[in-house]
Structure 1
């Protein structure tokens, strides 16, 4: 197990899972020395109400760029963590996450590619569940992410 700001990464069999997606099976954290931040499900809508990763046509239809939405959500989550920790933490302090996605067949690979740009190895990646859902709160959302982060007192 290797240690990073979000605890120690644990893999059941690191040699057999080397080529798979970059996420830990578990993160081991000493809770008595850390604050915990529970981040609500975050989607790609900015505080001014614009939808990131969405192109709306004149007829009211729209297209969604899952990569752009995922990158936007991760930036927003980083801002939340940075603010809630008073600058002491960032995305690498996430210990657990859940990704909700509309279409696993057509959108998972794009979401995962953006995810892997942030966490380039398993040692720093949080544990993660990715769940295909029928719908999200707004039809312009293709991805929503919730997370839990920790940082030292």
Structure 2
């Protein structure tokens, strides 16, 4: 019962050879989604040095952008925001960014009782100069 891969034309292109999502029965598995702008590929809130290294970033801007990108992939897959059941969050600086990220999470999921399950991990790097990535699972009711 695995569906073909799902590519959301309004979402940022994946940075590798993988789909945005794949449905298996009632479950929808999203590949890691970052905050890149779908139209320009720019990373919201990033300020770069001339050599391409990140000088400064804004975790709040990136968190809002990553949620928007997740919503875009969900909708392209026939799911809704409310269908999310599990989210894994990857932060490149847990000590600096967790509190601000948690505040953005609360804006998007104001009722903790109906929010998806969540695991947040601090990691050293992501494949592009982003500070956050989400891995999500949703349940699509038939």
TM-score bracket, shorter-length normalisation: 0.7 to 0.9
Matched position secondary structure for 1:131: strand
How far is the alpha carbon of 1:59 from its aligned partner?
6.9
Give me the whole-angstrom Cα distance separating, in 1, the residues matched to 2:94 and 2:51.
27
Higher relative contact order (CA 8 A, sep 6+): 1
Q: What number of residue pairs does the alignment pair up? A: 116
- Identify the residue that residue 109 of structure 1 maps to in structure 2: 99
Alignment of 1:130-149 (within 5 A): 130-138=120-128, 140-149=129-138
Give me the whole-angstrom Cα distance separating, in 1, the residues matched to 2:109 and 2:41.
28
Give me the whole-angstrom Cα distance separating, in 2, the residues matched to 1:63 and 1:46.
17
Matched position secondary structure for 1:46: coil
- Normalised by the length of structure 1, the TM-score is 0.69
Give me the whole-angstrom Cα distance separating, in 2, the residues matched to 1:135 and 1:45.
16
Give me the whole-angstrom Cα distance separating, in 2, the residues matched to 1:74 and 1:117.
11
1:74 aligns with 2:67: yes
Moved over 4 A (4+): 57-61
Unaligned runs of 5+ in 2: 1-24
- Identify the residue that residue 46 of structure 1 maps to in structure 2: 37
- Identify the residue that residue 21 of structure 1 maps to in structure 2: none
Matched position secondary structure for 2:125: coil
Give me the whole-angstrom Cα distance separating, in 1, the residues matched to 2:121 and 2:42.
25
- Normalised by the length of structure 2, the TM-score is 0.75
